[in-house]
Structure 1
Amino acid sequence: MKRKEKAAETETALKAAAQRLFATRGYLNTKITDITAEAGRAAGSFYNHFASKEELLESLLGDLESAGDDDARKAEHSPDFSDPAAIRFHIRAFWSFHREHTATMRALRQAALVNEDFARTLGEFSRAQSEEITGHVDYVTKAGFELPGPPAASVAMMSALIDNFVQMWHDGLVDLAEEDAIDALTRFVYRGFTGRDY
């Protein structure tokens, strides 16, 4: 195996090991030596790829950004939030995204609690994600509906609601089947944006 390919394989193995450990132990309770042991790599190999555990987590954050961009490019994506089907698509995409990346998302939140720089990085990431869909609510006002607040604030409310609800559902705190939960969220958000049921 070429050196470059081996390095890429090691980086991938370290990130996968970190995600497994973050899922079982949490970010704060995972050490770099735990990650290298879980990955089956020498302890020093970590520093050939990452300067710190925070830098590894920032790399995982970059992976999340790429995965989110892939969802936005899907053919069925519609930005028209006056259409409940478009809202449901976004909720379903976030739901699937959260399921696939739960360990990383929890690790990001834990790191933000103890590291001010990381808190800023995560805040900027969240803000950028919200800004990407702020234009989606323009369709709501163009269709003659009145948003509950300015577009950016309305999107922030929607994002916080969905994020917290999905976390509660994954933690077993909401007693609804997955599709029923997604439908309930869609109805709630659509009603919040338009004042109407569908």
Structure 2
Amino acid sequence: MWIQYWGWYVPLSRRWTVAARRSEKSAETEHALKAAARRLFAERGYLNTKITDITAAAGRAAGSFYNHFASKEELLQALLKDLADESDTSSEDPAHSADFTDPESVRFHVASYWAFARKNWPVLRAVQQAALVNDDFARIAARFGTEQRDEVADHLDGFAPAGLRLPGPADASLAMMFLSASGLLQAVEEGGLTLTDAEAVDALTRFVYRGLTGRDID
């Protein structure tokens, strides 16, 4: 099949090929901009990174940024969506257990959170920094914490039947768990503390399990 294109007749399949290449190039540029932003957010922080810094680090023209994102804030929102898509798969792991009376369940969740947050620390830290100057991101950060706790709220259902007493209300107890993990990660990422991932996961597992149940892990 042929179509007229700027006065010339070209095969329709060729036009599809051109469109596919353009789409592929656009996707490559978007990926490059996101990757560059993550690197710069890690090195300089979100607030100290300009759009021109991102395009330069990505090896793209300054104007190309606006073909994909209206602002630096929109880019950060896109990075957050990527994180949400990634985290949605964690509960599908066959090793997942929804019972925090079991120390292995606590270990699984601590290890999963640590690996996820360590990998995505530049974005998580960028959201924290953006929240200082942008009300929308302040709400996003608060909602992120709430959603984290909601996802594991039913993991405490076995406490009362097992005769265990949480250190406080369920939501507050889960908040302490996540804040302990994120605070330790920040100390490691910012150089204030030296721990291997295995050491961090082991220490956090013992800390969180004892904090929630009042018991030590044998």
TM bucket (normalised to shorter chain) is over 0.9
Deviations 1:76-101 (A, max 9, x none): 11111000011011111111112211
Instruction: Provide the identity percentage.
Output: 57
**Which residue, 47, 63, 66 being the options, matches 1:44?**
63
User: Could you say what secondary structure the match of 1:153 adopts?
Assistant: helix
Q: Which has the higher helix share?
A: 1
**Structure 2 matches for 1:5-154, cutoff 5 A?**
5-154=24-173
Name the structure 1 match of 2:187. 168
Give the superposition deviation at 1:108: 1.0
Letter in 1 for 2:78: S
CA distance in 2, matches of 1:175, 1:15: 29
Give the superposition deviation at 1:71: 1.9
CA distance in 2, matches of 1:6, 1:177: 39
TM-score normalised according to structure 2 size: 0.86
Q: Is 1:179 the counterpart of 2:198 in the alignment?
A: yes
CA distance in 2, matches of 1:142, 1:132: 21
User: Could you say what secondary structure the match of 1:2 adopts?
Assistant: helix
Name the structure 2 match of 1:3. 22
Question: Over the residues paired in the alignment, what is the CA RMSD in angstroms?
Answer: 1.4
Deviations 1:135-192 (A, max 9, x none): 1111223322111122111111111111101211233333444323221211111111
CA distance in 1, matches of 2:195, 2:65: 42
Q: Is 1:156 the counterpart of 2:156 in the alignment?
A: no
Which runs of 5 or more residues in structure 2 are unaligned?
A: 1-19
TM-score normalised according to structure 1 size: 0.94
Q: Which piece of structure 1 moves more, 146-155 or 12-21?
A: 146-155
Distance 1:91 1:36, change over 3 A: same
CA distance in 1, matches of 2:162, 2:196: 32
When Rg is computed on C-alpha atoms for both structures, the one with the higher figure is: 2
